[in-house]
Amino acid sequence: MNALTPQTFQINQILNIKQLIQITGLSRATIYSILDPKSKYYDETFPKQIYLSTNRVGWVAQEINEWIQLKIDRRIM
């Protein structure tokens, strides 16, 4: 599977954890640490997951793309 680029996002496309790992370059553990308010790695700007069923979560592709763009915009040149 190829990495998703901004051009391939569909309206309200949902990403699974494997796609999220591939797109962000973050590990599964890091992603869940970023989402955990008790973690020192917590990032309140990281998009929250949505619950698709009792055992399945996903992330809105557009929100992930916006978060990546925010990181790019905030980098120090």
Domain with 23 in it: what CATH number?
Answer: 1.10.238
pLDDT at 1: 47
pLDDT at 28: 97
**Is-contact 33 46, C-beta < 8 A?**
no
Q: Confidence band (pLDDT; 50, 70, 90) for 6?
A: low
Q: Is 45 part of any domain?
A: yes
**Is-contact 50 61, C-beta < 8 A?**
no
Q: Is 1 part of any domain?
A: no
Question: How many residues in the chain?
Answer: 77
| One-letter identity of residue 50 | I
Q: Is 30 part of any domain?
A: yes
Please determine, for residue 4, whether its predicted confidence score (pLDDT) is greater than 70.
no
pTM of the model: 0.81
pLDDT tens sequence across 15-73: 999 999 999 999 999 999 999 999 999 999 999 999 999 999 999 999 999 999 999 99
